[in-house]
Chain A
């Protein structure tokens, strides 16, 4: 048996191109299936992880509820629009609400979003008993400056803040950076930066001239907010006080964090009943909508599953092509080697020996493809995951998929064995005398 394997290996070695091509086709088929499965799994896990700290309900402008969730939790889409600050104010004082966090989007720092919020944001947790999801790694939180219309809120925030007595205008342009944003922007505590309008580097180039000072940097949270910068909501309003002469005025007034508006409110209801009541109120109201991240993400996962299914089918098709390639390669090799097979038979080899050698060759090719497929699959998944994480700050945690592992070994080896059957039968039926002594 070992000798048969050695001869099979030697035979493959003697025809490297005919061995490498089918192995490579198998590898690509497996790599595609494996990378898609791992990325799909990692994307779901990453999204769950990234959405974990943000409560169970998001309030935002009427429109697509999925867009609201994606834009406010995963920072993946443009916000639908803004809603009046009073909605946040009401929710914050609603006894059915345990925690309400305002979010005002408006500007970016070299692609990193600047998010106006308050210190309640830093109270968000993955569960009641868990530590805060967003914790300082360095420095302090931004100061909260009293706002003329929201004095009460500002006072409340100021009490919680360790530097709460810094009620001065200079504090208006303080910012805390997410871990990824600080790294990508190369900023540290004490550095200053300027912002531009909009959500991406390409949306607008109109620079604000009030520089922000970095006062704190957060620890990595595993959420998209790692790639963002945070400041007090009043700061965003201040920057976007609409100047009628500003060419971006219409856009700013409606889409950006204009004064007395917020883009979304993250809500942690105090009870399940309260949650349903609030949802119903927004559902029947006209000013805003409530969306459940869990529901929207489940829908998103269904889309991911569908995409995975389609790509999986493509993977199976490529594997089918790979099987044909292996079959053709082995068939041609066997036909070309009928004489050598006859020699072996002439020297005392049983038909079983030559069948084993041909089957071993096929299995070696598929095994080679299976191993190579793993290397390419894992590598490709890692590269794509890293690129996506770097772009979105949403982690894509990759893990081995035991339920796929067995299949990804069994499938190519099964395909290889099947593809080797006909060539093996051909080898079995070689007419020794005809091949060795053609008349």
Chain B
């Protein structure tokens, strides 16, 4: 699924009432299956861009189009369902729901999207937990798991509906290098398998080598797009 951001502008009002433009993108196209690293320091607009891409935050101006479907032309309820079905979101912190087990956390977006029959939710969720190495932890609650394990559950949850686009906001920020590598290997591999686009927002320079394409966001503007992909497109899709 291709995603196009066009004439995108988002303005926040400061407490003093002063308008501040946090995002200003003339045009950006993300092709289906692409894996992109979105770089930028804190406050550069990465999270705002993700929220707009996910349909959580209506931009002040401009459009976000998924394969011809303008996201903000949809009614709020339809947009929620569209998000559930087509977009996966890995939050910076895991944001698992404490009362639910790992399995139930993974099932949750399936129940919201209803993309697949209810009969297969638990089976798919177990498979996903197996993929992230947590088959044994299906009935653990977040409080009973380590930070790395929680993040892997969050990855499984974001992939629950086999999204067309996966947004990962600083997914490795809370992990040590080894755990970060494991999680990123997993996320990238599953996205390749599913043909899903992956956009990872991070200011971790260690991630640059993993992506064929890196985009820099500075003060809300895409100021540079990597001219030379680190991998050939054919390798990305393989």
Docked Cα-Cα span, A346 to B157, in Å, equals 12
- Let me know if A3 and B111 touch, CB within 8 A: yes
B97:A348 contact, CB within 8 angstroms: no
What is the total number of residues of chain A having a CB less than 8 Å from a CB of chain B? 26
A347 touches B77 (CB 8 A): no
Q: Does A10 contact B (CB under 8 A)?
A: yes
A219, CB-defined interface residue at 8 Å: no
Q: A347 touches which one: B47, B104, B108 (CB < 8 A)?
A: B108
Name the A residues within 8 Å of B54 (CB-CB). 346
The CA of A343 and the CA of B47, in the complex, are separated in Å by 15
Interface membership of B107, Cβ < 8 A? yes
CB A121 to nearest CB in B, in angstroms, measures 69
Q: Which of A3, A7, A14, A346 has the most CB of B within 10 A?
A: A346
What's the dominant secondary structure at chain B's contact region? helix
Could you say which residues of chain B place their CB within 8 Å of the CB of A340? 97-98
A208 contacts the other chain (CB 8 A): no
Q: Report yes or no: A343 in contact with B111, Cβ–Cβ below 8 A.
A: no
User: Is the pair B57, A433 in contact by a Cβ cutoff of 8 Å?
Assistant: yes
B residues near A437, Cβ cutoff 8 Å = 47, 51
| A353–B54 CA distance with the chains assembled, in angstroms | 18
Give A343 to B158 CA distance when docked, in angstroms.
Answer: 12
Bound CA–CA A2/B118 (angstroms)? 10
In the complex, chain A residues 5-21 whose Cβ is within 8 Å of any chain B Cβ: 6-7, 10-11, 13-14
| Chain B residues, Cβ within 8 Å of A62 | none
A348-B56 CB under 8 A given contacts A3-B107, A10-B99, A353-B112: no
| Residue ID in chain A nearest B169 by CB atoms | A437
Given contacts A10-B104, A433-B57, contact A349 B99 (CB under 8 A): no
Q: Which of B44-99 contact A (CB under 8 A)?
A: 47, 51, 54, 56-57, 76-77, 80-81, 83-85, 87, 89, 91, 95, 97-99
Listed in ascending order, the chain B residues whose CB lies under 8 Å from chain A are 47, 51, 54, 56-57, 76-77, 80-81, 83-85, 87, 89, 91, 95, 97-100, 104, 107-109, 111-113, 118, 157, 161
> Can you name 12 A-B residue pairings with CB atoms under 8 Å?
A7-B99, A11-B99, A344-B97, A344-B112, A345-B80, A346-B54, A346-B91, A347-B84, A348-B81, A350-B81, A436-B56, A437-B47
